[in-house]
Amino acid sequence: MQLDDFKDCMAWWGKREENDQAWKIPVKELLETNCNLDRKNPRGGIDFEHLPPDQLADQQAAARCRLLAHFSSVAAGADDVSSLG
């Protein structure tokens, strides 16, 4: 990497403001976590929810049932159309 690669960051650093990629952490909170900077973005949305395996399996089974019901209704509609011809 070259110094020029950091040009935008250095310009921002001189007049830092909080934004979607930069936020403040209170010193007390930082010290309580042993200065661990590995944190989730407080402005970030939830990408997905982690579920216990049994709940995940139940959701997948329910989704599969809905999909099969949909396919069945589409197939039944196709049979109705083909009987017209």
User: 20-23 long-range contacts, Cβ below 8 Å, gap at least 24?
Assistant: 20/44
Amino acid at 60: Q
pLDDT value at residue 81: 56
Residue 47 has pLDDT above 80, yes or no: no
Residue 85 has pLDDT above 60, yes or no: no
pLDDT value at residue 79: 66
Question: What's the domain count of the chain?
Answer: 1
Assign 14 a pLDDT band (cuts: 50, 70, 90): confident
Output phi, psi for 19, to 5 deg.
Answer: -150, -165
Residue 35 structural domain: 3-43+50-84
pLDDT value at residue 21: 84
Cβ-based neighbours of 41, under 8 Å, separated by 6 or more: 20, 21, 23
> Which pTM was predicted?
0.39
pLDDT value at residue 82: 59
